[in-house]
Amino acid sequence: MMRAFANPVVTTVVIGAAILLGARAMPAQAPTVAKVEPPNWWAGHSINPVRVLVRGQNLTGARVQCTRVTCGTPKVNAAGTYAFIDVTIPAGTPPDSYPLALRTPDGVVLAPFSVTAALPRAERFQGFGLDDVIYLIMPDRFANGDTTNDQPAKSPGLIDRAKGRYYHGGDIAGVRQRLPYLKSLGITAVWLNPIYDNNDRLNERERYEGQAITDYHGYGAVDFYAVDEHLGTMREVRQLVDDAHRTGIKIILDMVANHTGPYHPWVADSPTPTWFNGTQERHLANTWQLWTLADPYSTPEMRRATLDGWFIDLLPDFNQNDPEVSRYIIQNTLWWAAMTGIDGIRQDTWPYVPRSFWRDWMTAIKCEYPAMRVVGEVFDGDPSLLSFFEGRRQWDGLDTRVDALFDFPLLFPLRRAFAEGKPLREVAQMLGRDHLYDNPLTLVPFLGNHDVQRFMNEPGATADGLKLAYTFLLTVRGTPLLYYGDEIALPGAGDPDNRRDFPGGWPGDARTAFEADGRTPAEESVFSHVQRLLTLRAERRDLRRAPMQHLYASEQAFVYRRGRSVVALNNDTAAATIRLPGVTLGDDALGICARPVADSGAAVVVVPRRAGCVF
């Protein structure tokens, strides 16, 4: 019998056709859900319907079925990986789980969603202002209150206190446990750096000293609806806020509306084609030219690099002109507030976002939480530029409505004078530019923060200079800010050295600066001085709210009045004798200056070298 041999070409065609027919016969993949944002909302909220963003696979053609809540028709992106769904929550809807059923011709999947009971409004969402003193904490570097979250299961191996850009173990529990310390110092509000869930692995795209780094600082979010696992849980955040409120301390939470981290899922697969300004492969680098935003002669193209450019050519820049992006950020802000009961918001990188978005964002905040206040970061030393970003100023017909801004213009002459010993007159001159502001009382003056080297690392800085700087800071107009550790003269060069661990915040630390007997004499000297000033500020309303009146200014001496209080500063290396006509003074509340002498209708004050007095 003759054996038949198949033609190899024919065989290939037949097999290929069989595979193709088989593929057509196979059912398409069923839809899946990986993330729902927001995962919950509130009945009676000012935003209703809430727009829910569902991330998954195979969502093309999906319809949605809902129970008790009402769902609009999903809007699905071209890749079938994101669906936008408007969910209306009827008044009186009881708190419960109300999953959204997404149905395609190939299957059904449930997207978890719930209606949550609202937190009581009493003693929450309070805002902050002139009667407050803010204390900035980077949670990872302040205190380790719970060692069980040092090595989370989903991101182990990222903690190493010997490395400046790794996690060190500080957390929300540590902040909560140190509330008595803050209360004893005289703090009334705490600003926490972002607590969003950040990258769960080492960041190989940005390296430091040849090593991959972590996003311990909170500014590289990969999930805007979760607390970073190294810091704790949402339950712990709420406990911190509640305990702080019982202690008489408010909580201000840092938020980031300008960008996300380079490892966020959106970077590889965005919900809309215009979610970011550009892509990872093709985008503008930021030119950092803030002045172009206020420059009446700059072109839109000049301003575009500042508004749309990516920070350090790495952080994906949100496009707030995309209405879906705008709504997402607004809802996310209100979600964090409603979940935690915070009192205020510190908004990062304020100038790099369109002013029209800030108007809408602030309007949404004030609609839901009228008393809540926002302070924005404009990192620039030009007071005319800072005034451009003030709320209530309508340079372009828009009022961003921001409540407060950090006083960066005052920071730089303050550092030069009190740390380096340069002319104190520069500080008085900068205050003289307050006429540029709509309301200088809304400014937040400070000696340092997490983005500049510590005061004690400035050339020539001493503990005496730091104490003198604090005498100024805690008696000048505005709401003062302290950076954690500056109250004990903690040193630290530029980032990340300026984010050192607070001594005593970790089990096994050799000493604890949270207690008087654990502080060095120099540390205790600064701490007790700050504590006394904060007590005095709390006792004297005029040091918080009275207008400034300048009485005397020379190269190294400066005297000003606030209501019934008079502050005399001497930045010189020798004692200063100052004559103040028409002024009557009593004793120095700080016990530093001798009682002034009355002479022919004038008060004669002798201020010791590098010292300040409050009469």
Tell me: the pLDDT tens digits for 92-128? 999 999 999 999 999 999 999 999 999 999 999 999 9
297 domain-assigned: no
Band the pLDDT of 494: cuts 50, 70, 90: very high
* Together in a domain, 558 and 503: no
pLDDT score at 205: 86
Average pLDDT of the segment spanning 330-352: 98
* DSSP for 324-351, written as a single string: HHHHHHHHHHHHHHHHH---EEEESSGG
Count of residues making up the chain? 615
pLDDT tens profile 284-335: 999 999 999 999 999 999 999 999 999 989 999 999 999 999 999 999 999 9
Band the pLDDT of 17: cuts 50, 70, 90: very low
Residues with Cβ within 8 Å of 514's Cβ and at least 6 positions away in sequence, in order, are 143, 178, 181, 502, 504, 505
* Together in a domain, 407 and 496: yes
Please state the pTM of the whole predicted model: 0.94
Assess contact for 294 and 388: CB atoms under 8 A: yes
> Does position 445 have pLDDT exceeding 80, yes or no?
yes
CATH of the domain at 52: 2.60.40.10
CATH of the domain at 143: 3.20.20.80
CATH of the domain at 583: 2.60.40.1180
> Does position 19 have pLDDT exceeding 70, yes or no?
no
pLDDT score at 27: 53
* Together in a domain, 203 and 140: yes
* Together in a domain, 225 and 355: yes
pLDDT score at 413: 98
236 domain-assigned: yes
pLDDT score at 459: 97
* Together in a domain, 107 and 216: no
Q: Which residue segment(s) compose the domain that 362 sits in?
A: 134-282+343-545
How many domains does one find in the chain? 3
Distance of alpha carbon 112 from alpha carbon 181, whole angstroms = 41
Average pLDDT of the segment spanning 514-539: 98
434 domain-assigned: yes
pLDDT tens profile 389-420: 999 888 788 999 999 999 999 999 999 999 99
Distance of alpha carbon 492 from alpha carbon 186, whole angstroms = 24
SS3 label, residue 504: coil
Distance of alpha carbon 157 from alpha carbon 161, whole angstroms = 12
244 domain-assigned: yes
**What φ, ψ does residue 533 adopt, rounded to 5°?**
-65, -40
CA angle 40, 42, 48 (to 5 degrees): 100
Burial degree of 159 (CB within 10 A; 0-12, 13-18, 19+): buried
Distance of alpha carbon 241 from alpha carbon 250, whole angstroms = 7
Average pLDDT of the segment spanning 163-172: 97
> Does position 25 have pLDDT exceeding 70, yes or no?
no
> Among candidates 109, 101, 88, which has minimal Cα distance to 41?
88
Band the pLDDT of 21: cuts 50, 70, 90: very low
pLDDT tens profile 446-465: 999 999 999 999 999 999 99
229 domain-assigned: yes
- Domain boundary among the residues 511, 545, 579 is at 545
Cα–chain center distance at 454: 19
312 domain-assigned: no
* Together in a domain, 359 and 503: yes
Cα–chain center distance at 548: 29
What is the identity of the amino acid at 27?
P
The region, left, alpha or beta by phi > 0 then psi within -120 to 50, assigned to residue 608 is beta
Q: Give the residue with greater pLDDT, 8 vs 290.
A: 290
pLDDT score at 331: 99
* Together in a domain, 556 and 541: no
Alpha helices in 295-407 (DSSP H): 300-308, 323-340, 355-368, 383-388
Percent of the chain with pLDDT over 70: 96
> Does position 429 have pLDDT exceeding 90, yes or no?
yes
- Domain boundary among the residues 495, 510, 545 is at 545
pLDDT tens profile 221-266: 999 999 999 999 999 999 999 999 999 999 999 999 999 999 999 9
pLDDT score at 499: 98
* Together in a domain, 521 and 556: no
* Together in a domain, 179 and 105: no
* Together in a domain, 475 and 588: no
Cα–chain center distance at 580: 43
2 domain-assigned: no
323 domain-assigned: no
* Together in a domain, 436 and 501: yes
- Domain boundary among the residues 522, 545, 568 is at 545
Q: Mean pLDDT, the chain, as a whole number?
A: 94
Distance of alpha carbon 451 from alpha carbon 138, whole angstroms = 11
User: What are the percentages of helix, strand and coil residues in the chain, rounded to 5?
Assistant: 30, 25, 50
Question: Which three-class secondary structure string do you get for 1-47?
Answer: CCCCCCCHHHHHHHHHHHHHHHHHHCCCCCCEEEEEECCEECCCCCC
pLDDT score at 571: 98
* Together in a domain, 391 and 504: yes
